Amino acid sequence: MHPFHYAFKVKEIESTRAFYVNLLGCQEGRSTDTWIDFNFFGHQMSAHISAEMPELDFCGHVDGIRVPIPHFGCLVTVDEFHQVKEKLQSAQVQFLIQPYLRYEGKVGEQWTMFVFDSSGNPLEFKAFSNPEEVFAK
């Protein structure tokens, strides 16, 4: 596996730390008063303060559901998916798209859910029933 690095905009550091580190359990890396790095399920994420958050465009259409573009997220195991779902539910985080099983019984069967982080960035979590089918057609 080759971890990716992703830098993105946030409104401020403390609510970002609370969401990613305290709620999701991501390990904090280096940080200053204007940015914070953390381990997002094995990937390096860098959240940088910005006064100009990007406008979302709900132009993505998957299974008749409009999804925000851009968005980012992570592929996790089915067990991790349900653990994250429970953490989000316990913290009463509102789901943009409720957790559900997509393509049930078909190639590419996957659990998926969308939430907004504390700065309004849309996040998707996915878990494939068969990880070998991540790139299946």
Q: Is 67 helix (H, G, I), strand (E, B) or coil?
A: strand
pLDDT in tens, 67-125: 999 999 999 999 999 999 999 999 999 999 999 999 999 999 999 999 999 999 999 99
**Is the per-residue pLDDT at 1 higher than 80?**
no
Q: Are 81 and 111 in contact, with CB atoms under 8 Å apart?
A: yes
Report the pLDDT value the prediction gives residue 137, as an integer from 0 to 100. 85
Contacts with 66 (C-beta within 8 Å, 6 or more apart), sequence order = 58, 59, 60
pTM for the model stands at 0.92
pLDDT in tens, 23-39: 999 999 999 999 999 99
Q: Where are the alpha helices (DSSP H) in 1-137?
A: 13-17, 78-90
Domains of the chain (ranges; CATH) run 5-49 (3.30.720.120), 57-133 (3.10.180.10)
Q: How confident is the model at residue 13 (pLDDT cuts 50, 70, 90)?
A: very high
Signed CA dihedral, 73, 79, 85, 91: sign only: negative
